[in-house]
């Protein structure tokens, strides 16, 4: 969810550069639509993670810290950069892209790097916990298997002894009759 979008705004950032570099109005319109769709995907995933991710440092980094930079980026793109492009103020648009949007993207990227590092540590911890659970479960199943085997052997011996005694008694009775 982080690399690439929707949570990591690199594609939105690159689309802004594409818009900055093209003068084809149809291409710009298509890129604007794609950028708007990426923003919507971003907002949808933000809502999902706010609702579904466990509270803690990673959730805070994801839904507060990186989000602040991303939303500021989107707001500047939609309220300043794109209107400058539409009005033909290419130099002003480029200055907005480099002066305002790029630092926001870089700050967002920095937080995303923190999230990736923190999630990597968390994944390692989760893997160790799962391995521990598996080892305990295997040990418990081995104990239950040994217990079941002991009960089976004990029951077999008990039944065998009872059958042998019965046959021995029958043998004795048949000798007496003979």
Mean pLDDT (the chain) is: 92
The pLDDT value given to residue 18: 97
| Banded pLDDT at 7 (limits 50, 70, 90) | confident
Quickly list DSSP for 77-142. Answer: IIIIIHHHHHTT-HHHHHHHIIIIIHHHHHHHHHHHHHHHHHHHHHHHHHHHHHHHHHHHHHHHHH
The pLDDT value given to residue 150: 94
pTM over 0.85: no
**Spatial separation of the C-alpha atoms in residues 42 and 53, rounded to whole Å:** 15
Work out the average pLDDT over 109-118: 91
Contact 140, 27 (CB under 8 A): no
Using the predicted structure, report yes or no on whether residue 34 has a pLDDT greater than 80.
Answer: yes
Using the predicted structure, report yes or no on whether residue 4 has a pLDDT greater than 80.
Answer: no
Q: At what angle do helices 10-21 and 66-76 cross, to 10 degrees?
A: 20
Over residues 39-90, the pLDDT tens digits come to 999 999 999 989 998 899 989 998 899 999 999 999 999 999 999 999 999 9
Give the sign of the dihedral formed by CA 121, CA 114, CA 36, CA 50. positive
The pLDDT value given to residue 166: 87
Over residues 155-174, the pLDDT tens digits come to 999 999 999 988 888 888 88
Q: Which two tokens stand for residue 45?
A: 């995933």
Contact 33, 83 (CB under 8 A): no
Q: Which two tokens stand for residue 57?
A: 């440092």
Using the predicted structure, report yes or no on whether residue 3 has a pLDDT greater than 80.
Answer: no
Per the model's pLDDT, the better-predicted residue between 3 and 165 turns out to be: 165
């Amino acid at each position: 969810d982080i690399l690439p979008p929707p949570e990591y705004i690199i594609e939105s950032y690159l689309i802004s550069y594409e818009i900055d570099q093209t003068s084809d109005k149809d291409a710009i319109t298509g890129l604007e639509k794609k950028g708007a769709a990426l923003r919507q995907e971003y907002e949808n995933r933000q809502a999902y993670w706010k609702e579904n991710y466990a509270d803690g440092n990673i959730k805070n980094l994801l839904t507060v810290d990186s989000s602040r930079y991303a939303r500021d980026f989107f707001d500047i793109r939609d309220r300043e950069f794109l209107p400058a492009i539409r009005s033909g103020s290419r130099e002003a648009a480029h200055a907005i892209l480099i002066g305002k949007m790029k630092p926001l993207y870089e700050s967002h990227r920095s937080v995303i790097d923190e999230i990736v590092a923190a999630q990597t540590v968390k994944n390692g911890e989760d893997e160790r916990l799962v391995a521990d659970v598996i080892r305990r479960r295997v040990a418990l199943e081995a104990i239950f298997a040994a217990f079941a085997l002991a009960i089976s052997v004990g029951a077999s011996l008990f039944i065998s002894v009872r059958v042998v005694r019965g046959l021995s008694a029958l043998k004795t009775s048949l000798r007496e009759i003979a």
